[in-house]
A and B are shown apart, each in its own frame.
Chain A
């Protein structure tokens, strides 16, 4: 059974079709990359799957159960969570309070120990904080952190909930080159903990992390396969990569 299965997803904004019959499956443990030019519907796709936006047609299954029309907090309880293109933390609260808030809903606390088995390897919040190098920043207001620190805090807050799938919307957006390097390393380690869905413009992220890549173009899926093949695909190169890497 696939972890995520999306069938015939359609979304219109007025006369514009943002998503046209998008099909997508994702296996547990897999890291899936999604690329495409600006306005091709990537964020709309994540918004719909994560419950922020309703679809006009189509069905979605998460772990075999329908999540069509589910709200974000219901999805969080099932282990599907996301991050945002623009970093989003409780900037007025301290780092520790941010993490505490995220830990209010811990899936294994509600579903029993069995639900967490095989995924999150039982790492405590303290271990996660050390791994993400946030352990010395606990008392600071989250709003005073650097962008990279906030991105790491965002990750920690998701991991504190022991999710099964994290959808990352441009995880290295706005980071400096050295930070991009570090972020990729962190995400590579994260792959062992849960499934990842990554939207990115930085091809390096996709090339180094993704097991499989999906390409969206004007709301349609035009390619789906291993990164090497997809990034060499004639249509993808001509319509997307060619324009970016010219």
Chain B
């Protein structure tokens, strides 16, 4: 089967699964969590995998959008379908503004700077209870309105998440194939050389960061209405690191890698609910294993192994 057919089959499967899992509320819930994290992982992959920056304030931006969306729907009685895009736009612009100084930095320095920004955002969530209800968090977040009236819930909520997740994969694939995506990869490989070849590195990083913040924000709004409860802990640095791990584990800079990473890792905390301590240990161990043993991630290492085998074969053919 060609890659395109595989992609179509996978997409259709993702859209069909909510109906298959309808009978089992627990599995359906886990599935919806995976879909939200898939949106996030695609955003993270765009910046970490294709531009080469590791944004640890990712969850923070998602949180700003989620809180803004709740504020707009509760205090101004906006519809979710208007509030979520507007809140996402606002949070993304806010994220770009905060990130502006750091976007001149590269690699490790950017990561450190983003960690500081994430910490500040988390503190802001705690210290501005007017909007966030502080550490207590906000519960009973109303689900979005259904087009046919009433609240969107159950299988149709899950289907909405699946649609947005599939769209996020398609969008990511499309961006990567454009001239902008090629500039991103040039910046990832060598930002100094990219600049000499006429690429406005800082401008392109800002564009990338804005797009990525939109992925984070929309995921954040959907997360809030799916779970029905958010607190500053929902959007702390561990959340950012988790999403980063999905991308790094699956294979950064590939379209399939983050999908693999999310499907394998996102359900773990929910499937191991009785072993709460264990899941943090597992995350830690996985981060070490990925960094030391599979820098390319599962999919990246697989591709590398295939290339090596091909090269060996070509060599063998050449020798005979």
The count of chain B contact residues (Cβ–Cβ below 8 Å) is 17
Given contacts A88-B190, A88-B192, A90-B190, contact A104 B197 (CB under 8 A): yes
Specify which chain B residues have a CB less than 8 angstroms from the CB of A97 in the assembled complex: 182, 185
Specify which chain B residues have a CB less than 8 angstroms from the CB of A92 in the assembled complex: 189
Q: Is A12 an interface residue (CB 8 A)?
A: no
The count of chain A contact residues (Cβ–Cβ below 8 Å) is 23
Specify which chain A residues have a CB less than 8 angstroms from the CB of B201 in the assembled complex: 73
Most buried by B among A92, A97, A104, A157: A104
Q: Is B196 an interface residue (CB 8 A)?
A: yes
Which of B189, B193, B199 touches A104 (beta carbons < 8 Å)? B199
Q: Is B200 an interface residue (CB 8 A)?
A: yes
By a beta-carbon cutoff of 8 Å, the part of chain A in contact with chain B is 50, 52, 71-73, 76-77, 81-82, 88-93, 97, 100-102, 104-105, 157, 161
CA distance A147 to B183 in the complex (A): 25
**A77 and B198 within 8 A (CB):** yes
Name which residue of chain B comes closest to A105, CB basis. B198
**A104 and B195 within 8 A (CB):** no
Specify which chain A residues have a CB less than 8 angstroms from the CB of B190 in the assembled complex: 88-90
Closest 8 A/B residue pairs (Cβ) = A105-B198, A76-B198, A90-B189, A72-B195, A101-B186, A73-B200, A72-B196, A88-B193
Given contacts A88-B190, A90-B190, A91-B189, contact A101 B196 (CB under 8 A): no
- Nearest CB in chain A: distance from B89 CB, A: 28
Specify which chain A residues have a CB less than 8 angstroms from the CB of B200 in the assembled complex: 71, 73
**A161 and B189 within 8 A (CB):** no
Which of A82, A91, A100, A104 touches B196 (beta carbons < 8 Å)? A82
CA distance A72 to B191 in the complex (A): 11
- CB pairs A–B below 8 angstroms (23 shown): A72-B195, A72-B196, A73-B196, A73-B200, A73-B201, A76-B195, A76-B197, A82-B196, A88-B192, A88-B193, A89-B193, A90-B193, A92-B189, A93-B189, A97-B182, A101-B182, A101-B186, A101-B194, A102-B197, A104-B182, A105-B199, A161-B197, A161-B198
Specify which chain B residues have a CB less than 8 angstroms from the CB of A102 in the assembled complex: 197
Specify which chain A residues have a CB less than 8 angstroms from the CB of B189 in the assembled complex: 90-93
Which of A71, A90, A91, A100 touches B195 (beta carbons < 8 Å)? A71
Task: Tell me the dominant secondary structure on chain B's binding face.
Answer: helix
CA distance A101 to B199 in the complex (A): 9
Specify which chain A residues have a CB less than 8 angstroms from the CB of B192 in the assembled complex: 52, 88
Q: Is B179 an interface residue (CB 8 A)?
A: yes
**A76 and B196 within 8 A (CB):** yes
Specify which chain A residues have a CB less than 8 angstroms from the CB of B193 in the assembled complex: 88-90
Specify which chain B residues have a CB less than 8 angstroms from the CB of A90 in the assembled complex: 186, 189-190, 193
- Nearest CB in chain B: distance from A199 CB, A: 16
**B197 and A101 within 8 A (CB):** yes
Specify which chain B residues have a CB less than 8 angstroms from the CB of A91 in the assembled complex: 189
Specify which chain B residues have a CB less than 8 angstroms from the CB of A71 in the assembled complex: 195, 200
CA distance A81 to B182 in the complex (A): 20
Name which residue of chain A comes closest to B180, CB basis. A104
Specify which chain A residues have a CB less than 8 angstroms from the CB of B183 in the assembled complex: 101, 104
| Interface hits, B171-219 → A, CB 8 Å | 179, 182-183, 185-186, 189-190, 192-201
Query: Contacts A71-B200, A76-B197, A101-B186 given; 15 further ones with Cβ under 8 A?
Result: A72-B196, A73-B196, A73-B200, A76-B195, A81-B197, A82-B196, A88-B192, A89-B190, A89-B193, A93-B189, A100-B182, A104-B186, A104-B198, A104-B199, A105-B197
